[in-house]
């Protein structure tokens, strides 16, 4: 067994173990403990959470919601809120989480009735029951934007259609070439076996079993390594849990592929050199090996470059999203309320209690809002008014719109920098808009204080202002030219504040969800509230998923580069074996280095050029990625040839 095959096998198993292990852990985070269905509810159409839980209970299915929250130690903790009893699943409230991925940092808890029915839900139970629940949820009136069955088979198929699997296939190509090279070096052994009467099929089978045994041993060591890492970092994990099953299914599938490639390479070598006399002379199908190595190198180059290009694009995209989320995270503490659809009569009856609630939270400085108004008559009273943002003073200070030591008027209008405006016109518009607020409040039984022109100030936006709204529409081009109206929430009608709450423009800054729920019950407005959403945790959840994707793409890039290095080394070794006598003669005649090593440079450059059409075909071409991959391939190929040159000289003397 040649040492190149041993190195290629170890490299391939390391790639498989790393890719499969990270993919299994990634799936454990996405699908904790292996649900049977993953659904996303985009619109409930007024249906309460109890409808969801009732359908699930009827079919003996458990619902689960995954979110993230700070753990108080500078890191994040995953929270799984469950609705129902998970019989036999092993995931129970207030107990250690049993699977790979986030053992000590995962908390399982019971969900409450104020959980938002919109968003992503995981369904646990038998595949038939969960599929029935998903259909029943849609028939009940919920609008689903996703309904995906989850299983080990589906997840394994997704792995082989993923960009990271492209690199695994390139690693299997390296195993194919190294296996052929290893078998070709055993030509004299095969000749002796043939002379002693062993059939060709027996020779092929014996060589295959010998090489397959080594590969399987490497795979077993990789599996045991993954289990050992799990035992160290995830003490409550089971090697045969959901993540363990995903990992095991992937390595079994890839091992079968590797063994098929290995058997094919061994059979081809024996078919190409069947004569026992040639085997005794040490003949090898070097041209076949060289052709196989070149094809393998082209595939590795194309897939590695395409994988790096996709990884680079996705990583930069995730980095941009992460930066945006981190900014939102620093300025979006508090809870959002989502209100029920209610009739005008019920709304009118509840408005006095709602206004008392807003008044109390405002006086205790627990109310924050930054609400985007598309047609804002506070500043512009034309037929097509421009947008603006209504904001409280505390949020305005956090966004550097006003200075901490500034004494504010009752209503302050902050205009964009370097923009001309008519102060008289804006003041009149503010008075008219506030008069309309007074009329709405009067209908609700609330009396707003009177204001005059001296209660209104108009200022220019500071240069260091960071303008953002809690509920900015996704199709908004930008906020650079949007005015801001800074106003106390006690000066707004209940209709306006409920509108802000419904769009997510108003949050309530309490230390805990329980504290906010107690105040809602105390004021008698809990019947209006459909759900209480922790805005900070919601952003934290998106941030954790984005960080997870960035880690995934980083690992993919490392695997791509490692496989590229293996392919370059294999091509260089094969070329050195093919030209060993020529290189020995060139050295003995004192040929300069650039003449002795120009063949590997020309070959590497030709292989890089040949990989370009494949990159264009699979849509993975990028000038920077392709250039980087090509240069790395050429440098590694040249370095391998230079380092292997001295060994080949001695080998040429012993085996001319």
The band of 439, judged by pLDDT with boundaries at 50, 70 and 90, is very high
How much is the pLDDT for 511?
78
- pLDDT tens string 289-338: 777 778 878 877 887 777 777 777 777 777 777 776 666 666 556 788 87
DSSP β-ladder status, 529-534 and 62-70: unpaired
Using CA atoms, how far residue 531 sits from 93, 264, 516, 644, in Å, is: 21, 60, 12, 68
Instruction: Classify domain 285-333+534-656 at the CATH topology level.
Output: Methane Monooxygenase Hydroxylase; Chain G, domain 1 (1.20.58)
The contacts of residue 596 (CB under 8 Å, 6+ apart) are 583, 586, 587, 645
SS3 (DSSP) at 147: strand
Measured CA to CA, the distance from residue 498 to residue 169 in angstroms comes to: 56
- Does the pTM of the predicted model rise above 0.75? no
The band of 600, judged by pLDDT with boundaries at 50, 70 and 90, is confident
Average pLDDT on 468-492 reads: 78
| 493 contacts 394 by C-beta, under 8 angstroms | no
How much is the pLDDT for 331?
56
- Percent above pLDDT 70 for the chain: 83
How much is the pLDDT for 103?
54
Measured CA to CA, the distance from residue 13 to residue 252 in angstroms comes to: 11
| 36 contacts 153 by C-beta, under 8 angstroms | no
How much is the pLDDT for 461?
81
- pLDDT tens string 502-546: 888 888 888 777 888 888 888 888 878 877 877 676 677 677 777
Measured CA to CA, the distance from residue 412 to residue 487 in angstroms comes to: 7
Average pLDDT on 582-597 reads: 77
**Per-chain mean pLDDT for the chain:** 80
How much is the pLDDT for 277?
46
- pLDDT tens string 58-113: 888 999 988 776 666 656 677 888 887 655 555 666 666 766 655 557 788 888 77
Measured CA to CA, the distance from residue 306 to residue 293 in angstroms comes to: 20
- Percent above pLDDT 90 for the chain: 14
- pLDDT tens string 3-12: 778 888 888 8
How much is the pLDDT for 486?
93
What ranges do the domains of the chain cover? 32-149, 285-333+534-656, 335-509
How much is the pLDDT for 433?
92
User: HSE of 511 in the Cβ direction (CA atoms, 13 Å)?
Assistant: 2
Measured CA to CA, the distance from residue 543 to residue 321 in angstroms comes to: 8
The band of 249, judged by pLDDT with boundaries at 50, 70 and 90, is very high
The band of 656, judged by pLDDT with boundaries at 50, 70 and 90, is very low
């Amino acid at each position: 067994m040649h040492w190149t095959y041993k190195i290629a096998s170890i490299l391939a198993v390391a790639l498989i173990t790393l890719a499969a292990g990270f993919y299994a852990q990634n799936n454990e985070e996405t699908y904790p403990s292996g649900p049977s269905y993953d659904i996303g509810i985009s619109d409930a159409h007024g249906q309460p959470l109890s409808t969801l839980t009732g359908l699930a209970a009827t079919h003996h299915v458990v619902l689960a919601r995954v979110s993230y929250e700070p753990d108080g130690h500078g890191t994040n903790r995953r929270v799984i809120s469950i609705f129902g009893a998970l019989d036999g699943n092993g995931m129970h409230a207030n107990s250690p989480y049993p699977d790979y991925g986030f053992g000590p940092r995962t908390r399982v808890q019971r969900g409450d009735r104020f959980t938002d029915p919109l968003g992503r839900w995981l369904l646990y139970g038998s595949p038939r029951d969960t599929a029935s629940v998903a259909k029943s949820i849609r028939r009940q009136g919920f609008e689903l934007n996703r309904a995906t069955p989850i299983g080990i088979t589906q997840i394994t198929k997704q792995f082989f259609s993923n960009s990271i699997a492209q690199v695994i296939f390139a690693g299997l190509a390296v195993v194919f070439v190294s296996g052929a090279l290893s078998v070709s070096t055993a030509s004299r052994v095969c000749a002796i076996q043939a002379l002693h009467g062993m059939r060709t099929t027996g020779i092929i089978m014996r060589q295959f079993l010998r090489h397959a045994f080594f590969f399987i041993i490497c795979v077993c060591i990789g599996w045991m390594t993954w289990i050992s890492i799990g035992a160290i970092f995830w003490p409550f994990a089971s090697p045969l849990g959901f993540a363990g099953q995903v990992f095991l299914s992937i390595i079994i599938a890839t091992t079968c592929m590797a063994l098929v490639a290995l058997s094919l390479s061994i059979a081809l070598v024996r078919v190409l050199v069947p004569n026992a006399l040639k085997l005794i002379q040490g003949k090898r199908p070097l041209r076949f090996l060289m052709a196989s190595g070149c094809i393998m190198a082209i595939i590795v180059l194309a897939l590695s470059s395409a994988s790096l290009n996709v990884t680079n694009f996705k990583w930069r995209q995730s980095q941009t999203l992460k930066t945006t989320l981190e900014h939102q995270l620093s300025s979006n503490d508090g809870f959002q309320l989502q209100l029920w659809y209610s009739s005008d009569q019920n709304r009118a009856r509840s408005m006095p209690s709602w206004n008392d609630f807003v008044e109390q939270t405002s006086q205790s400085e627990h109310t924050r809002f930054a609400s985007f108004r598309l047609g804002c008559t506070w500043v512009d009273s034309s037929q097509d008014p421009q947008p603006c943002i209504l904001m409280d003073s505390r949020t305005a200070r956090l966004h550097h719109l006003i200075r901490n030591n500034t004494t504010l008027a009752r209503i302050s209008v902050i205009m964009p920098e370097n923009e001309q405006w008519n102060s008289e016109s804006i003041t009149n518009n503010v008075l008219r808009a506030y008069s309309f607020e007074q009329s709405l409040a009067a209908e609700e039984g609330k009396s707003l204080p009177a204001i005059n022109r001296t209660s209104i100030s108009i200022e220019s936006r500071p240069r260091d202002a960071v303008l953002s709204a809690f509920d900015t529409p996704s199709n908004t081009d930008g906020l650079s030219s949007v005015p801001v109206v800074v106003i106390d929430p006690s000066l707004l009608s209940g209709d306006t504040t409920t509108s802000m709450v419904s769009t997510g423009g108003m949050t309530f800054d309490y230390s805990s969800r329980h504290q906010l729920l107690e105040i809602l019950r105390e004021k008698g407005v809990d019947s209006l509230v459909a759900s209480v959403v922790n805005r900070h945790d919601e952003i934290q959840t998106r941030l954790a998923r984005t960080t997870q994707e960035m880690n995934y793409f980083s690992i993919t890039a490392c695997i791509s580069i490692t496989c590229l290095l293996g392919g370059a080394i294999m091509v260089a070794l094969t070329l050195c074996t093919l030209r060993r006598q020529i290189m020995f003669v060139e050295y003995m005649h004192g040929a300069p280095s650039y003449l002795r090593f120009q063949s590997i440079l020309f070959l590497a450059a030709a292989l890089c050029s040949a990989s370009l059409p494949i990159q264009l075909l699979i849509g993975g071409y990028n000038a920077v990625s392709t250039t980087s991959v090509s240069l790395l391939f050429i440098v590694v190929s040249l370095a391998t040839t230079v380092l292997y040159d001295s060994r080949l000289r001695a080998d040429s003397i012993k085996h001319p």
